[in-house]
């Protein structure tokens, strides 16, 4: 059993919405609630030169035991099917507000392990189906390899399947440029993760660059990371909040933010509770249920959109709980709820 655990909302969140902690930081382009609660996103090594130097490819993984993870939905999945991958069909979200300047939406998918023949011939751009967005600060972001038809016509007016002439080796389609392109908002759903273009399996590629094709380092407001060395990470890993920083170098596991909504997560082991707490608080929600069982070994939680100022603690003795209640009352907090299991107490305070 750990001793006192605490997380103070006012340190990282300023309103009920998911807000920026850095003027230069953006939203992560995927959400935790688009995959199973216990699955996580990971980055992979990819070609990284020129404008793509600070970009990355993202997969989703499930734990299969002994710190090992798999990108497939089941142990005996058909590896020739795009739909066997966990990441396939996840919602791609805008990292920042901007204007669509180039796009494509209807090119056909690859079979995992090989590109569609039209990619090599130049009739499908390397980015496949994609949105190329100019942010309001003048930098550009690419969201690549979306499922055919998943980018709405309101964002991309091009309905052709192939470029009319073959131009091999280009990231963007020469016929994909638009004038007066659609405006997108931060967090808006742009399409679904697929496997189109220069892509050997379903994944999301994102990178940012200047108008002079120079790479732009991507910093994220929210989310947590842990090392994914040799494709390995413990289910009890130590997670580090991004809070306006870039992803660590190399392959990493990412716990993306949840959407701001109402959530219930039960049967959380004590050794993972602080990471779950940090994850949800960082996502812009606050606890309204913080129950424990088995003398504090298991927690059952409920979360609602954050509002006002709040604090919550778990793993307390009765003495610590009583002192915390008195101290927070002096600061104007009212105890919203409290629970106990054996000798362990938890509590939520709001003002």
* Judgement on whether residues 190 and 332 belong to the same structural domain of the protein: no
* Judgement on whether residues 306 and 206 belong to the same structural domain of the protein: no
- Write out pLDDT tens, residues 143-186: 999 999 999 999 999 999 999 999 889 999 999 999 999 999 99
Whether 245 maps to a domain, the answer reads no
Whether 142 maps to a domain, the answer reads yes
Bridge-based pairing of strands 252-255 and 224-227 is: antiparallel
* Judgement on whether residues 177 and 326 belong to the same structural domain of the protein: no
- Write out pLDDT tens, residues 232-284: 999 999 999 999 999 998 899 999 999 999 999 999 999 999 999 999 999 99
Give the integer Cα–Cα distance in Å for 334 and 325: 8
Whether 282 maps to a domain, the answer reads yes
Whether 157 maps to a domain, the answer reads yes
What average pLDDT does range 311-332 have in this prediction? 96
* Judgement on whether residues 287 and 315 belong to the same structural domain of the protein: yes
**In the predicted model, what is the mean pLDDT of the chain?**
92
* Judgement on whether residues 50 and 190 belong to the same structural domain of the protein: yes
- Reading the block at residue 349, the tokens are 């305070």
Instruction: Return phi, psi of residue 249, to 5°.
Output: -65, 155
pLDDT at 250: 85
What average pLDDT does range 12-38 have in this prediction? 71
Whether 126 maps to a domain, the answer reads yes
* Judgement on whether residues 58 and 136 belong to the same structural domain of the protein: yes
Whether 194 maps to a domain, the answer reads yes
Q: 67-71, 173-177, 227-231: lowest mean pLDDT where?
A: 227-231
Q: Which residue has the higher pLDDT, 46 or 39?
A: 39
| Phi-psi region at 12: left, alpha or beta (left = phi > 0; alpha = psi -120 to 50) | alpha
Q: What percent of the chain has pLDDT over 70?
A: 92
pLDDT at 28: 98
* Judgement on whether residues 111 and 51 belong to the same structural domain of the protein: yes
**What single-letter DSSP state applies at residue 180?**
S
Residue in 175, 90, 89, 83 with CA at minimum distance from that of residue 124: 175
Give the integer Cα–Cα distance in Å for 54 and 122: 25
**What single-letter DSSP state applies at residue 51?**
G
- Write out pLDDT tens, residues 79-93: 999 999 999 999 999
Q: How confident is the model at residue 48 (pLDDT cuts 50, 70, 90)?
A: low
* Judgement on whether residues 166 and 273 belong to the same structural domain of the protein: no
pLDDT at 337: 97
Containing domain of residue 96, as a range? 32-220
* Judgement on whether residues 308 and 193 belong to the same structural domain of the protein: no
What average pLDDT does range 84-106 have in this prediction? 98
């Amino acid at each position: 059993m750990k001793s006192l655990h605490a997380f103070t909302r006012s340190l990282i969140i300023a309103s009920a919405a998911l807000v920026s902690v850095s003027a230069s930081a953006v939203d992560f382009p995927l959400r935790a609630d688009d995959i199973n609660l216990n699955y996580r996103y990971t980055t992979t090594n990819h070609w990284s030169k020129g404008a793509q130097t600070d970009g990355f490819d993202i997969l989703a993984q499930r734990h299969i035991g002994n710190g090992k993870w798999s990108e497939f939905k089941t142990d005996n999945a058909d590896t020739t099917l795009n739909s066997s991958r966990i990441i396939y069909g996840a919602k791609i979200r805008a990292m920042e507000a901007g204007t669509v300047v180039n796009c494509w939406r209807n090119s056909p998918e690859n079979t995992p392990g090989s590109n569609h023949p039209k990619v090599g011939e130049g009739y499908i751009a390397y980015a496949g189906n994609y949105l190329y967005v100019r942010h309001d600060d003048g930098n550009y972001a690419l969201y690549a390899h979306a499922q055919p038809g998943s980018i709405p016509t309101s964002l991309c007016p091009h309905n052709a399947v192939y470029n009319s002439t073959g131009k091999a080796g280009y990231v963007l389609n020469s016929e994909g440029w638009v004038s007066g392109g659609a405006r997108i908002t931060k967090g808006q759903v742009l399409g679904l993760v697929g496997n189109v273009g220069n892509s050997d399996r379903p994944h999301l590629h994102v990178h940012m660059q200047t108008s002079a094709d120079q790479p732009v380092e991507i910093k994220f407001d929210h989310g947590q990371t842990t090392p994914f060395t040799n494709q390995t990470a413990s289910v009890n890993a130590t997670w580090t909040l991004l809070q306006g920083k870039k992803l660590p170098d190399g392959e990493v596991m990412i716990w993306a933010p949840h959407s701001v909504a109402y959530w219930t997560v039960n049967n959380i082991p004590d050794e993972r509770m602080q990471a779950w707490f940090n994850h949800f608080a960082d996502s812009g929600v606050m606890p309204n249920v913080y129950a424990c069982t088995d003398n504090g070994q298991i927690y059952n939680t409920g979360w609602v959109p954050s509002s006002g100022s709040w604090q919550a603690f778990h793993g307390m003795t009765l003495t610590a709980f009583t002192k915390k209640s008195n101290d927070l009352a002096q600061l104007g907090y009212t105890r919203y709820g409290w629970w106990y299991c054996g000798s362990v107490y938890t509590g939520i305070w709001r003002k």
